Structure 1
Amino acid sequence: MLMLDAGKQSQISAVLGHPYPQARLRYWKAAGRSAWIFDDIGKEGYVPTTCGFIVSNASIEHARVLIYRESRGEQIGDPSFLRQLIGARAAGSGLDKHVDNISGATLSVNMMQRMARAALVFDSLTA
């Protein structure tokens, strides 16, 4: 369980653009890899999207959209889109890899990039 004190919340807020809504986050860690499942909102006022990420050696090893409830942008769950996140590392406030946008789903694409970056930060906080 990752306890998100004020310092850790500050780091996460810088990535997500808002504090993480809970004070703790469950994760799984084994064989040098960590697994993270959490929610974020792609469009202001909409329902959350649940995604899962596996982080290994400070990079995204696997990404998956688990629950997507918005009316547009479901293409972010396609394997062809998610492959763009594989191998991404933290770079400044974003990722070190370019991620192609999806027409009509800009906010969902931005959310996925934020969530991938957040998973990398969460992983770094467990070291």
Structure 2
Amino acid sequence: RVHVPGPVSDPARVIGLFDIFALSSDSEQFPLSLVEAMAAGLPVVAPAVGDIADMVSEANAEFIAPPGNEEELRMALVQLAVSKDLRREVGEANRAKAVAQFDEAKMVATYRRLYASAMGLEL
């Protein structure tokens, strides 16, 4: 089954109900929806646009397709759809990476250090 929920007022409340996070964008930079999906422990299927390929865990890399390659997106979806163990493994790796690299407090602290350093300020 495929559910296309459309706009959701509080996606954090429902994203954990999904089995796979699929993104089909032609253009992205650093999609927050991807970070939310990773934090929820989901495997990701998406095209390699913007920062997506660098954002996902190493375990998830094979499910990132070249831009415009619908067949590879389809094959990645099928591979994940048929294996609950694979979904869990990839999702756990994504969650670990999201916690380690995309935690909001850590990101804010990193930006503060970066800007302070660029301005020659000490924190």
TM-score for the superposition, normalised by structure 1 = 0.28
Bigger share in strand: 1
TM-score for the superposition, normalised by structure 2 = 0.29
